[in-house]
C-alpha cells in the first residue's frame, strides 16, 4: 500500500518534471529546485550530495545547473535510488522488536499469574518505547531537525518535533499527546512500576507506535 507521504512525494516529482520543462521562466526553475530539495529531505534526510549541488547552483544563480540537479533527483527517485540503507535496516529492526512486543502482549493476555503477566506487559512496553525513541530520532534526522545526541529520550525528541510557541509542529497535536501517553507507559516499565501498567495501554502503544512508524518513516 502506498503511504500518504509517498503519494505526496510522487506529486512533487510530477511537479518538478513540469517545472523543468523547456521555455520555463526562472521562477519555475527555482521552484523545481526547492521541491527537489524537499524530496531529498523526505527520503535520504538531506545529506545526499545532490542537496549541496542544488544549493550551490541556487546561490550562484546558475539555473541550468539547478535544473540538471533537479532532474537528477527525479531520476534517482524513480529508479528507487533515494533511500537510506541504514534507515531501512532501522525500520526493519523496529518492526522485529514490535513483533516481539506483540507476542509478549498476547502471552500476557493469556497468563493467569498476575506477577508474570505484569512482567510481560512491562517487556512489551519497554520494547515499544525503545522503538518509538529510535523512530523519533530517525524522524528528526529525516526532517533535518537538530537534537542533543546525548539526550535522546522520548520526551526530548518529542519537544524537538513539536513546539507550537516556535511554530514547530512536525507532528500533530494529537500525535504529540499520544506520544506523551506512550512515554508514560515506557517510564513505568523503565522504573519498575510494573503493577501500574495495564494491558489496554500497552496494546494501544504497540499498535500506535507501529502505525506512527509506518506513517512517517515507511
**Same structural domain, 183 and 149:** yes
Confidence of residue 1 (pLDDT cuts 50, 70, 90): very low
**Same structural domain, 39 and 111:** no
Q: In whole angstroms, give the CA distance from residue 189 to residue 124.
A: 9
C-alpha cell at 99: 513483533
- pTM for the predicted model, two decimal places: 0.62
Number of domains into which the chain is organized: 2
Confidence of residue 66 (pLDDT cuts 50, 70, 90): very high
Query: So what's the pLDDT on residue 183?
Result: 95
Average pLDDT, the chain: 88
**Same structural domain, 96 and 198:** yes
In 3D space, the residue among 186, 124, 125 whose CA is nearest the CA of residue 155 turns out to be 186
Of the three residues 28, 51, 78, the one that is the final residue of a domain is 78
Query: So what's the pLDDT on residue 149?
Result: 77
**Same structural domain, 43 and 94:** no
**Same structural domain, 126 and 174:** yes
**Same structural domain, 102 and 47:** no
**Same structural domain, 190 and 96:** yes
Decide if 197 contacts 117 (C-beta within 8 A). Answer: no
Q: Which domain holds residue 166?
A: 85-216
pLDDT at 178 over 60: yes
**Same structural domain, 114 and 89:** yes
Q: In whole angstroms, give the CA distance from residue 174 to residue 168.
A: 14
CB contact set of 212 (below 8 Å; sequence gap of 6+): 132, 135, 175, 178, 179
Segment 109-118 long-range contacts (CB within 8 Å, at least 24 positions apart): 109/199, 118/194, 118/195, 118/197
**Same structural domain, 137 and 207:** yes
Confidence of residue 212 (pLDDT cuts 50, 70, 90): very high
Of the three residues 63, 78, 93, the one that is the final residue of a domain is 78
Tell me what the mean pLDDT of segment 131-159 comes to.
Answer: 87
**Same structural domain, 11 and 96:** no
Q: In whole angstroms, give the CA distance from residue 168 to residue 90.
A: 25
Write the secondary structure of the chain as one string of H (helix), E (strand) and C (coil).
CCCHHHHHHHHHHHHHHHHCCCCCCHHHHHHHHHHHHHHHHHHCCCCCHHHHHHHHHHHHCCHHHHHHHHHHHHHHHHCCCCCCHHHHHHHHHHHHHHHHHHHHHHHHHHCCCHHHHHHHHHHHHHHHHHHHHHHHHHHHHHCCCCCCCCCCCHHHHHHHHEEHHHCEECCCHHHHHHHHHHHHHHHHHHCCCHHHCCHHHHHHHHHHHHHHHHHHCC
Please state, for a pLDDT cut of 70, what percent of the chain lies above it.
Answer: 94
**Same structural domain, 187 and 115:** yes
Of the three residues 78, 102, 129, the one that is the final residue of a domain is 78
Q: In whole angstroms, give the CA distance from residue 196 to residue 148.
A: 30
Confidence of residue 2 (pLDDT cuts 50, 70, 90): very low
**Same structural domain, 134 and 208:** yes
Amino acid at each position: 500500500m502506498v503511504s500518504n507521504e509517498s503519494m505526496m512525494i510522487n506529486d512533487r516529482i510530477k511537479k518538478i518534471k513540469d517545472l523543468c520543462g523547456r521555455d520555463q521562466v526562472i521562477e519555475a526553475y527555482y521552484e523545481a529546485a526547492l521541491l527537489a530539495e524537499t524530496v531529498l529531505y523526505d527520503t535520504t534526510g538531506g545529506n545526499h550530495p545532490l542537496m549541496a549541488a542544488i544549493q550551490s547552483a541556487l546561490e550562484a544563480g546558475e539555473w541550468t545547473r539547478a535544473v540538471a540537479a533537479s532532474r537528477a533527483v527525479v531520476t534517482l527517485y524513480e529508479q528507487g535510488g533515494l533511500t537510506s540503507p541504514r534507515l531501512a535496516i532501522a525500520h526493519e529492526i523496529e518492526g522485529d522488536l514490535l513483533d516481539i512486543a506483540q507476542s509478549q502482549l498476547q502471552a500476557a493476555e493469556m497468563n493467569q499469574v498476575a506477577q508474570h503477566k505484569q512482567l510481560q506487559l512491562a517487556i512489551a512496553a519497554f520494547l515499544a518505547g525503545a522503538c518509538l525513541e529510535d523512530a523519533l530520532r530517525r524522524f528528526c534526522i529525516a526532517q533535518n531537525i537538530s537534537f542533543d545526541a546525548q539526550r535522546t529520550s522520548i520526551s526530548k525528541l518529542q519537544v524537538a518535533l513539536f513546539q507550537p510557541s516556535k511554530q514547530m509542529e512536525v507532528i500533530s497535536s494529537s500525535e504529540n499527546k499520544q506520544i506523551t501517553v506512550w512515554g508514560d507507559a515506557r517510564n513505568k516499565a523503565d522504573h519498575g512500576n510494573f503493577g501500574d501498567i495495564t494491558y489496554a495501554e500497552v496494546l494501544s502503544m504497540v499498535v500506535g507506535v507501529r502505525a506512527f512508524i509506518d506513517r512517517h518513516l515507511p
